Structure 1
Amino acid sequence: MTLWFEQALLPGGWASRVRLSIANGRICGIETGADARPGDERHAIGLPGLPNLHSHAFQRGMAGLAEARGPGSDDFWSWRELMYRFVARIGPDELEAIAAQAYAEMLEAGFTRVGEFHYLHHAPGGGRYGDIAEMSGRIAAAAQAAGIGLTLLPVFYAHSGFGGAPPGEAQARFVTSPEVFGDLVDRSRAKLGDGDLAGIAPHSLRAATPDELRAILPVADGRPVHIHIAEQLREVEDCLGWSGRRPVEWLLGEMPVDPDWCLVHATHITPGEREALAASGAAAGLCPVTEANLGDGIFPAAAFLDAGGRIGVGTDSNVRIDAAEELRLLEYGQRLTARARNVLAQDGTSTGGRLFRAALSGGGQALGAPSGLAPGNWADIVSLDASDPALADRSGDALLDSWIFAARRPVDCVWRMGAKQVSGGRHRHREAIEARFRAALARLTA
């Protein structure tokens, strides 16, 4: 199979008249300055698919349901109570249907791989399914049905607060022990599709004690390790009260944080923590749409990137699934903080270009799957519709600037492992996936 693009973004930069040869799901050859040949599938603009490094797929089912204000002030913690009520009713069929919907929408938005931070392990009330990895299997099945690449991140969750506080009733479906966790991960890995992998995810410093963290880290076995950290100021204050140190400070001082790790959010960090995190090589997993929706705060991305830090973006709560919007809001948050423009660009360079390349590289690192249009990589490719008025008479990084900051939804086709999953902006199984999603929501809200 061969795809031909008038221009495409390669690791070394933009190239014209690019032929990508694909075999066994991978890019096996690249020609530049080449004319299209008979049988080539021709497109105008080719990009590597973006990694979505942080998702809670089931939350797509509650998108928009938490936008009415309660009797007092609303914040992350009041939103969490609504989330607990929603998740309490989700069964295996509902989880699979909601996740497939979320994953199809991710592909339509230009994401080709997702890091699923999966903590809904058990039956309502906390009872165990006959197969401890039943719900992991449903996530894997949803990813396979949608055709998206999956880095599954089974979550270790044991406590409701710092210092080993007992879990609450609403958290019973999430809770496991270090002794059981290895079996959960092993059984989850057995359910994955081709090209997929499973790391681990200690939920947070609130949910795992230091001894538990040390006990589960060998389960990663060289695969990704993701953790929520420093998302909320209350979390920082509680961590100080427990340990005398801030969350990122504690983690970097006590755990072997390296490029296999992804610190999700890391919103509230000091300059010293920021420099140490950059030096560790770990990625910061930023979720600008969700962080704005929950009122979390704004990560100091400009200073972090300038220090050599690695970043990727994720859709987290999936309240809105849009790759360009995550990148746009990341930059706009920096502009509002700094009261300046093009904050994340370097002198004389494109803002969209730096955003896209940073998210591509850092996201690929965080998900354990190198990203980019290069021989040997998975053929995860996005084409943009050159007829979109916002892309008129654009080339090179101006295309990225216009996609992120000006276009509406120009993603045309999306290939995962060389298989076309999106054409004309529509997922090939959209109708069937959406019908299952609607039926699942009808059951959950009855």
Structure 2
Amino acid sequence: MTQQLFAADALLPTGWARNVLITWDGAGRITAVAPNAQPNGAAMAPGPVLPGMPNLHSHAFQRAFVGLTEYRGESQDSFWSWRNLMYRFAARITPESLEAIATWLYVEMLEAGYTSVCEFHYVHHDQDGTPYADDATLSLALLRAAQSAGIGITLLPVLYQTSGFGAKPPRADQARFIRSTDNMLSLLERLVPAARAQAAVLGLAPHSLRAVPPGSLEVAVQGLTALNAQAPIHIHIAEQTQEVQDCVAWSGQRPVQWLLENAPVDERWCLVHATHMTPQEYQDAARTGAVAGICPTTEANLGDGIFDMPLWLQHGGRWGVGSDSHACVNAAEELLMLEYSQRLSRQQRNVLASTRHAEVATAMTLQAVAGGSQAAGRPIAGLAVGQQADMVALDAHHVALRDLPPHSMLSAHVFGSHRTSAIDSLWVAGVRRVSNGRHVLHEPAAQAFVAARSATIAPD
């Protein structure tokens, strides 16, 4: 069945347009976008309509871990001390708790303006490290969670084999993550029918250069390409200075430099974080067409550092945002943190505005949607014919937005509201998942999440 939405103002890939009639088919694909149109009986949007934001980096189980590490456990806390605590939490996750946690997280994402998620999934096995009878148990839990919430998903099972550069043996607390390369490719084949049934995309996530030796990386990428030549590939890269130093000690090269010289990096790849690069690495990585996966609130929470976005854009780099460890689940908050980090480092304002007089929130939204779509490997690149009808409608009567021009409403949403409070409605593939700011599963999913978290952190 054909459906339509009329927006007095809508943000199209080419910019803001007035009186836009959006039409989509029964498969949720946009078939027409007509500016300067008449409503013709179509449903009326309650405010400006934006493209749905892809979330290009998520570790779902970590949402239940938020708030449990915000104390100084060592003389100098860091990403590495945080990771030790996170491992203890990961060791207690069950299939049931993972599904409950992910379902609530995906409901939160939808209420916060995300319409799809790239799930970087690395907890694979039972608590003692042995595979489940069905090796896909935890992957299937995530697919069910996405289907229940109604969010689009790109599932990225993680290849994790070593604890450090030079093929150091895995630690005992990494046992739930470890897979051989052949086993990973078998898992992907096993997941194809389930993913296809809900229009999910399957990709691969070599965890990092420290966790995947060169030979395994090469074979895994070749095997994935044989399964699907367009499948996305995501990798953590150059997130921490210690990682950079260790890579240099191992190979004589920095992580991004080594990756670009030893792997077929192209538009399929998402370089997650890529925080610590040289100017030459920024230029070389941008030229591959890969997407930089920036997770501003997590990078701030973990003390990673600040990505040099103006330098990346100078070389035509593509980018998107993710919520990663989910210290914050809010699409607009990631954009705010990204822009504010650039302001703090450069002592300037409106750093990421595309041109003079451009609205920075508009520029960031369009770029993040395009980059997130590419990283997800899904047709979710905005309000255009052939793309999925993933849309967010702001509340034009919200006090922070009321009586402003549409582009200023978006700016007020990002910089002047409570971020999620100004979202009224959200559609995924043309299906309305959020109305009046709430998802239909909000209460039951929240209750199940709290119960799962309590059971996971309870003492033995």
Indicate the TM-score class for this superposition, using the shorter chain for normalisation.
over 0.9
| 2:20 is the counterpart of 1:11 | no
| 2:208 is the counterpart of 1:196 | no
Q: In the alignment, which residue of structure 1 is the partner of 2:143? A: 140
Q: Secondary structure at the match of 1:116?
A: strand
The Cα shift of 1:39 comes to 5.1
Q: Secondary structure at the match of 1:391?
A: coil
Q: Cα deviations across residues 358-404 of structure 1 (Å, max 9, x unaligned)?
A: 10111111111232011221111100001112213323432322211
Q: In the alignment, which residue of structure 1 is the partner of 2:429? A: 417
In the aligned structure 1, how far is the partner of 2:4 from the partner of 2:51?
15
Q: 2:147–2:198: 8 Å Cα contact kept in structure 1?
A: no
The residue type equivalent to 1:311 in the other structure is W
In the aligned structure 2, how far is the partner of 1:365 from the partner of 1:71?
40
Q: Secondary structure at the match of 1:153?
A: strand
Q: Which runs of 5+ in 2 are unaligned?
A: none
Q: In the alignment, which residue of structure 2 is the partner of 1:434? A: 446
The Cα shift of 1:43 comes to 2.7
Q: 1:51–1:114: 8 Å Cα contact kept in structure 2?
A: yes
The residue type equivalent to 1:156 in the other structure is L
The residue type equivalent to 1:296 in the other structure is D
In the aligned structure 1, how far is the partner of 2:192 from the partner of 2:243?
32
Q: Secondary structure at the match of 1:191?
A: helix
Q: In the alignment, which residue of structure 2 is the partner of 1:338? A: 346
Match among 345, 357, 362 for residue 353 of structure 1: 362
The residue type equivalent to 1:2 in the other structure is Q
The Cα shift of 1:123 comes to 0.4
In the aligned structure 1, how far is the partner of 2:65 from the partner of 2:36?
48
Q: 1:36–1:42: 8 Å Cα contact kept in structure 2?
A: no
Q: Which runs of 5+ in 1 are unaligned?
A: none
Q: Secondary structure at the match of 2:128?
A: helix
Match among 57, 79, 84 for residue 82 of structure 2: 79
In the aligned structure 2, how far is the partner of 1:379 from the partner of 1:163?
46
**Structure 1 length as normaliser, TM-score?**
0.98
Q: In the alignment, which residue of structure 2 is the partner of 1:386? A: 396
- Map 1:107-256 → 2, pairs under 5 A: 107-192=110-195, 193-218=197-222, 219-220=224-225, 221=228, 222-256=230-264
In the aligned structure 2, how far is the partner of 1:80 from the partner of 1:90?
16
Q: Secondary structure at the match of 2:277?
A: coil
- Map 1:244-283 → 2, pairs under 5 A: 244-283=252-291
In the aligned structure 1, how far is the partner of 2:385 from the partner of 2:414?
27
The Cα shift of 1:342 comes to 1.1
In the aligned structure 2, how far is the partner of 1:194 from the partner of 1:173?
27
Q: 1:356–1:400: 8 Å Cα contact kept in structure 2?
A: no
In the aligned structure 1, how far is the partner of 2:114 from the partner of 2:400?
20
Q: Cα deviations across residues 271-325 of structure 1 (Å, max 9, x unaligned)?
A: 0000001111101000000000000000001111121000100000011101111
Q: Secondary structure at the match of 1:319?
A: coil
Q: 1:200–1:224: 8 Å Cα contact kept in structure 2?
A: yes
In the aligned structure 2, how far is the partner of 1:412 from the partner of 1:173?
40
Q: 1:267–1:296: 8 Å Cα contact kept in structure 2?
A: yes
In the aligned structure 1, how far is the partner of 2:182 from the partner of 2:121?
18
Q: Secondary structure at the match of 2:46?
A: strand
In the aligned structure 2, how far is the partner of 1:8 from the partner of 1:147?
23
In the aligned structure 2, how far is the partner of 1:397 from the partner of 1:9?
9
In the aligned structure 1, how far is the partner of 2:259 from the partner of 2:74?
36
In the aligned structure 2, how far is the partner of 1:433 from the partner of 1:309?
38
Q: Cα deviations across residues 24-73 of structure 1 (Å, max 9, x unaligned)?
A: 21112222222223353443211110000000000000111110111421
Q: In the alignment, which residue of structure 1 is the partner of 2:102? A: 99
CA separation of 1:42/1:311 partners in 2, compared to 1, >3 Å: closer, same or farther?
closer
Q: Secondary structure at the match of 2:75?
A: coil
Q: 1:60–1:98: 8 Å Cα contact kept in structure 2?
A: yes
Q: Secondary structure at the match of 1:258?
A: coil
Q: Cα deviations across residues 320-361 of structure 1 (Å, max 9, x unaligned)?
A: 101111001101111111111111113221111111111011
Q: Cα deviations across residues 160-215 of structure 1 (Å, max 9, x unaligned)?
A: 00011100010000000011110111122322243211110000000001100000
Q: How many matched pairs?
A: 446
Q: 1:154–1:200: 8 Å Cα contact kept in structure 2?
A: yes
In the aligned structure 2, how far is the partner of 1:366 from the partner of 1:42?
29
Q: In the alignment, which residue of structure 1 is the partner of 2:306? A: 298
Q: Cα deviations across residues 193-248 of structure 1 (Å, max 9, x unaligned)?
A: 43211110000000001100000002143210000000000000000000000000
Q: In the alignment, which residue of structure 2 is the partner of 1:367? A: 376
The residue type equivalent to 2:236 in the other structure is H
**Structure 2 length as normaliser, TM-score?**
0.95
Worse overlay, 411-420 or 14-23: 14-23
Using the aligned pairs only, state the percent identity. Answer: 49
Q: 1:3–1:43: 8 Å Cα contact kept in structure 2?
A: no
Q: In the alignment, which residue of structure 2 is the partner of 1:406? A: 416
In the aligned structure 1, how far is the partner of 2:282 from the partner of 2:6?
42
